[in-house]
Structure 1
């Protein structure tokens, strides 16, 4: 009531105006608080989005590092495989050359054996002839 007495000399228009200003101030303050809260929520959402982007970038970098390491291992394995294949190729060439030498030696040995068999047959024939001469006397 004392408040009304304060505004009585100014009239009811002033009292309504002051009430209107107080209501506007009250709702304006609530609007401002809600606006600040909304901005904070947006900022938090943006911050979380940036954090997720940074995590994705870190994951992508980790995958790239792992892929590079794997490609390095694959390249090293392929080098070892290629060197082993070259060694096997060299070994096979050596085996083929050895087989050719053995085949040549075998053919030469067979030819010598045939020659020796002919000589032995000739000696055998001579011995038989001599034996037959001795026994026939």
Structure 2
């Protein structure tokens, strides 16, 4: 049952990304081009995503587990540290250069070209290498 809900949620998410144009790299880069040909439509997509998320947060505040029985993860840390800053910078640079982030890149795989496949390969490589590098850095540099 859990996998069925995950499949449905993933399908809805991918469909929403496609319909909203977020799988189109030029639309995303247009959002980031505030001093050029700025395209504000991504703001509406983000706003539309925040509304159901706020509702979900309000509902989960009174629950300890999801509808399929899985416990909710602990609340994330609000600490702003070097790992968060570096990760945010890397994510932002990749988003600005490629016009894609992980969700839309996976949704666009069905029709993407060589550039998209290179981006996804680089993204997956980064996801695989990051825990290894992070463990090495944690050993070399004491926690803040």
Shorter-normalised TM-score: what interval? under 0.3
Q: Return the structure number with greater helix share.
A: 1
Return the TM-score normalized by structure 1: 0.20
- Using CA pairs below 8 Å that are at least 6 residues apart, which structure has the higher relative contact order? 2
TM-score by length of 2: 0.19
Determine which structure has more spread, i.e. the larger CA radius of gyration. Answer: 1
